[in-house]
A and B are shown apart, each in its own frame.
Chain A
Amino acid sequence: MSVLTGMRVLIVEDEPLIAMTLEDILIDLGCVVVGLASRLNEALDLVRRLEVDAAILDVNIHGEKSFPVASALQQRGARYVFATGYGLQGVGKGFSNVPVLQKPYSQAQIAAALEALANAR
Chain B
Amino acid sequence: MTDLIVPPRYRTAHIEGVQRYLETGTGPVLGRRIEIAALHKAGHECSVELSISPVTMDGETYFLGFLRDITERKQSEQSLRESEAHFQIIADSSPALMWQANESGELVFVNKRHEDVFGCEVETLHSFGWRRVVHPDDVDAFHSELMRALAARESFKAEARFISASGALLWLHCEGKPRFQEDGALAGYVGVSFDVTEEKSALGALAETQRRLNAVLNNASVAIFLMDANQHCVYMNAAAERLTGFSLHETQGRPLHDVIHHTRPDGSHFPLHECAIDRAFPQNNNQQGEEVFVHKDGRFYPVAFTASPVRDEGSKTVGTIIEVQDISERKRAEEHQRLLVDELNHRVKNTLAIIQSIAQQTFKGEVATAEARAAFEGRLAALAGAHNLLTEQRWESVSIVALVKDALKPFRAGTGRWAIDGTDFQIAPKTAVTLTLAMNELATNAAKYGALTSPEGRVEVSWKIQPIGAEQRLRLYWIERGGPKVTPPSRHGFGTRMLQRALASELGGKVRLDFRAEGLICDVDAPLPGLIA
Q: Report B35 CB to chain A, min CB distance, Å.
A: 120
Q: Is A45 an interface residue (CB 8 A)?
A: no
Contact A20-B502, Cβ < 8 Å, known A85-B350, A86-B345, A87-B345: yes
Q: State A39–B529 Cα separation when bound (angstroms).
A: 14
User: In the complex, what residues of A have CB within 8 A of residue B346's CB?
Assistant: 60, 84-86, 90
Please tell me if the beta carbons of A38 and B505 are within 8 angstroms of each other in the complex. yes
Q: Is B70 an interface residue (CB 8 A)?
A: no
Number of A-B contacts (CB under 8 A): 73
Q: State A105–B508 Cα separation when bound (angstroms).
A: 26
Interface core residue of B345, B353, B497, B506 (most chain A CB under 10 Å) = B353
Q: State A118–B357 Cα separation when bound (angstroms).
A: 26
Q: Is B393 an interface residue (CB 8 A)?
A: no
Please tell me if the beta carbons of A21 and B350 are within 8 angstroms of each other in the complex. no
Q: A20 touches which one: B350, B355, B361 (CB < 8 A)?
A: B361
Contact A18-B357, Cβ < 8 Å, known A85-B350, A86-B346, A103-B349: yes
Chain A 1-45 interface residues, beta-carbon cutoff 8 Å to B: 14-21, 24, 36, 38-39
Q: Report B243 CB to chain A, min CB distance, Å.
A: 34
Please tell me if the beta carbons of B437 and A17 are within 8 angstroms of each other in the complex. yes
Chain B 418-453 interface residues, beta-carbon cutoff 8 Å to A: 430, 434, 437
Q: State A20–B358 Cα separation when bound (angstroms).
A: 10
Q: State A103–B502 Cα separation when bound (angstroms).
A: 19
Interface core residue of B342, B357, B360, B437 (most chain A CB under 10 Å) = B357
Please tell me if the beta carbons of B349 and A21 are within 8 angstroms of each other in the complex. no
User: In the complex, what residues of A have CB within 8 A of residue B360's CB?
Assistant: 21, 24
Q: Is B26 an interface residue (CB 8 A)?
A: no
Minimal Cβ-Cβ distance residue in A for B350: A85
Please tell me if the beta carbons of B354 and A85 are within 8 angstroms of each other in the complex. no
Q: Is A104 an interface residue (CB 8 A)?
A: yes
User: In the complex, what residues of A have CB within 8 A of residue B349's CB?
Assistant: 84-86, 102-104
User: In the complex, what residues of B have CB within 8 A of residue A89's CB?
Assistant: 342
Chain B 491-517 interface residues, beta-carbon cutoff 8 Å to A: 497-498, 501-503, 505-506, 508
User: In the complex, what residues of A have CB within 8 A of residue B497's CB?
Assistant: 20
User: In the complex, what residues of A have CB within 8 A of residue B501's CB?
Assistant: 16, 20
Q: State A89–B352 Cα separation when bound (angstroms).
A: 19
Contact A18-B345, Cβ < 8 Å, known A24-B360, A38-B505: no
Q: State A105–B497 Cα separation when bound (angstroms).
A: 21
Q: State A102–B348 Cα separation when bound (angstroms).
A: 12
User: In the complex, what residues of B have CB within 8 A of residue A102's CB?
Assistant: 349
Q: Report A55 CB to chain B, min CB distance, Å.
A: 17
Please tell me if the beta carbons of B353 and A16 are within 8 angstroms of each other in the complex. no
Chain B 323-356 interface residues, beta-carbon cutoff 8 Å to A: 342, 345-350, 352-356
Q: For chain B, which range describes its interface: under 10, 10 to 19, 20 to 34, or 35 or more residues?
A: 20 to 34
User: In the complex, what residues of B have CB within 8 A of residue A39's CB?
Assistant: 508
Q: State A84–B437 Cα separation when bound (angstroms).
A: 22
Please tell me if the beta carbons of A15 and B345 are within 8 angstroms of each other in the complex. no
Q: Report A37 CB to chain B, min CB distance, Å.
A: 10
Q: Report B463 CB to chain A, min CB distance, Å.
A: 20
Please tell me if the beta carbons of B503 and A16 are within 8 angstroms of each other in the complex. yes
Contact A18-B353, Cβ < 8 Å, known A24-B360, A60-B346, A85-B345: yes
Contact A17-B430, Cβ < 8 Å, known A85-B346, A86-B342, A104-B352: no
Q: Give the size of the chain A interface in residues (CB under 8 angstroms).
A: 24
Contact A16-B506, Cβ < 8 Å, known A85-B349, A86-B345, A103-B353: yes
Q: Report A26 CB to chain B, min CB distance, Å.
A: 13
Minimal Cβ-Cβ distance residue in A for B354: A17
Please tell me if the beta carbons of B430 and A104 are within 8 angstroms of each other in the complex. no
Q: State A19–B501 Cα separation when bound (angstroms).
A: 10
Please tell me if the beta carbons of A104 and B356 are within 8 angstroms of each other in the complex. yes
User: In the complex, what residues of B have CB within 8 A of residue A16's CB?
Assistant: 434, 501-503, 505-506
Q: B354 touches which one: A18, A38, A90, A105 (CB < 8 A)?
A: A18
Please tell me if the beta carbons of B357 and A21 are within 8 angstroms of each other in the complex. yes
User: In the complex, what residues of A have CB within 8 A of residue B348's CB?
Assistant: 85
Q: State A43–B364 Cα separation when bound (angstroms).
A: 28
Please tell me if the beta carbons of B357 and A20 are within 8 angstroms of each other in the complex. yes
User: In the complex, what residues of A have CB within 8 A of residue B498's CB?
Assistant: 17
Contact A104-B353, Cβ < 8 Å, known A14-B430, A20-B502, A24-B360: yes
Please tell me if the beta carbons of B358 and A17 are within 8 angstroms of each other in the complex. yes
Q: State A16–B352 Cα separation when bound (angstroms).
A: 14
Q: Report B499 CB to chain A, min CB distance, Å.
A: 11
Please tell me if the beta carbons of A19 and B345 are within 8 angstroms of each other in the complex. no
Contact A17-B342, Cβ < 8 Å, known A24-B360, A85-B350, A103-B350: no
Please tell me if the beta carbons of A15 and B353 are within 8 angstroms of each other in the complex. yes
Q: State A37–B364 Cα separation when bound (angstroms).
A: 24
User: In the complex, what residues of A have CB within 8 A of residue B355's CB?
Assistant: 104
Q: State A41–B23 Cα separation when bound (angstroms).
A: 159
Minimal Cβ-Cβ distance residue in B for A14: B430
**Which 10 pairs show the lowest CB-CB distances between chains A and B?**
A85-B349, A16-B502, A21-B357, A104-B353, A16-B505, A17-B357, A104-B356, A103-B353, A85-B346, A103-B349
20 further A-B pairs in the complex, CB-CB below 8 A; given A16-B501, A21-B361, A102-B349: A15-B430, A16-B434, A16-B505, A17-B354, A18-B350, A18-B357, A20-B497, A20-B502, A21-B356, A24-B361, A38-B508, A62-B430, A84-B346, A85-B348, A85-B349, A85-B352, A86-B346, A103-B353, A104-B349, A104-B356
7 A-B pairs (CB sep. < 8 Å): A17-B358, A24-B361, A84-B349, A85-B352, A86-B345, A90-B342, A105-B353
